[in-house]
Amino acid sequence: MDAESLRLAERLLPSTYIKQASDADISRRTKIHQLLEKRKCPDEGWDDQTIEGLLIDLAKMDSNNFPANCGVGEREARIYSGLVAQRHYRLGHGIGRSGDISEVQPKAAGSSLLNKLTNAMVLDLIRRIGIRGTQACLVMPMATGMTVMMTLLSLRDSRPQAKYVLWPRIDQKSCLKSISTAGFEVVVVENVLEGDEIRTDVPALKEKVTSLGAENVAAVLTTTSCFAPRGVDRLEESTDKNFLVPVGGAVVAGFDAHFIEHIGKMYPGRASVSPVLDLFITLLSMGVQGYTALMTQRSQHMEHLRLRMGEVATNLNLKLLQTKNNPISIGLALPEGAGTELGSQLFLRGVSGVRVVTPDQVKVVAGVTLKGWGAHHPNYPHAYLTAAAALGMTRTDVDTFMARLEKCLKKMSNKLKETRADVNEDGLENQ
- Under DSSP, the state recorded for 216 is G
Same domain, 298 and 408: yes
- Nearest residue to 230 via CA among 169, 307, 295: 169
* 11 has binding-site annotation: no
Amino acid at site 84: V
Q: Please state, in angstroms and as integers, the Cα–Cα distance from residue 358 to each residue in 114, 238, 317, 384, following that order.
A: 46, 27, 19, 7
Same domain, 397 and 351: yes
Write down which residue in 242, 262, 286 finishes a domain: 286
Same domain, 161 and 244: yes
C-alpha span between 44 and 365 (Å, rounded): 45
Same domain, 280 and 175: yes
Same domain, 334 and 259: no
* 75 has binding-site annotation: yes
Amino acid at site 95: I
* 270 has binding-site annotation: yes
C-alpha span between 94 and 86 (Å, rounded): 15
Same domain, 268 and 373: no
Same domain, 155 and 243: yes
pLDDT at position 231:
43
Same domain, 4 and 63: no
pLDDT at position 429:
56
Same domain, 21 and 41: no
pLDDT at position 240:
92
- Nearest residue to 253 via CA among 235, 278, 273: 235
C-alpha span between 325 and 333 (Å, rounded): 17
303-310, long-range: CB within 8 Å, 24+ apart, which pairs?
A: 304/389, 304/395, 304/398, 305/330, 305/387, 305/389, 305/398, 305/402, 306/330, 308/398, 308/399, 308/402, 309/387, 309/402
**Range(s) of the domain holding residue 321:** 294-429
Same domain, 221 and 323: no
Same domain, 183 and 227: yes
Give the count of domains, the chain: 3
pLDDT at position 332:
95
- Nearest residue to 117 via CA among 55, 63, 66: 55
pLDDT per residue as tens digits for the range 112-138: 999 999 999 999 999 999 889 889 999
CA contacts within 13 A on the Cβ side of 254: 12
Amino acid at site 207: E
Write down which residue in 253, 268, 286 finishes a domain: 286
Write down which residue in 286, 311, 338 finishes a domain: 286
∠ CA 97-136-268, nearest 5°, is: 25
* 349 has binding-site annotation: yes
Strands 185-189 and 164-168: parallel
Distance of CA 96 to the CA centre of its chain: 22
* 97 has binding-site annotation: yes
pLDDT at position 431:
57
H or E stretch including 149? helix 144-158
Distance of CA 359 to the CA centre of its chain: 27
pLDDT per residue as tens digits for the range 409-428: 998 888 767 765 555 555 55
Consecutive 10-residue averages of pLDDT for the chain (431 residues): 90 93 92 97 97 97 92 89 96 88 92 97 94 91 91 88 93 92 94 92 93 94 61 58 93 90 88 96 98 96 96 94 91 81 88 90 91 92 92 96 93 74 55 57
- Nearest residue to 137 via CA among 124, 128, 146: 124
Q: Cα torsion for 82, 84, 85, 90, to the nearest 10°?
A: 180
Same domain, 91 and 229: yes
* CATH code for the domain in which residue 328 is found: 3.90.1150.10
DSSP string, 31-91: HHHHHHHH-S--SSPPPHHHHHHHHHHHHHTBGGG-TT----SS-S-----HHHHHHTTT-
Longest dimension (CA), the chain: 106
∠ CA 226-227-232, nearest 5°, is: 45
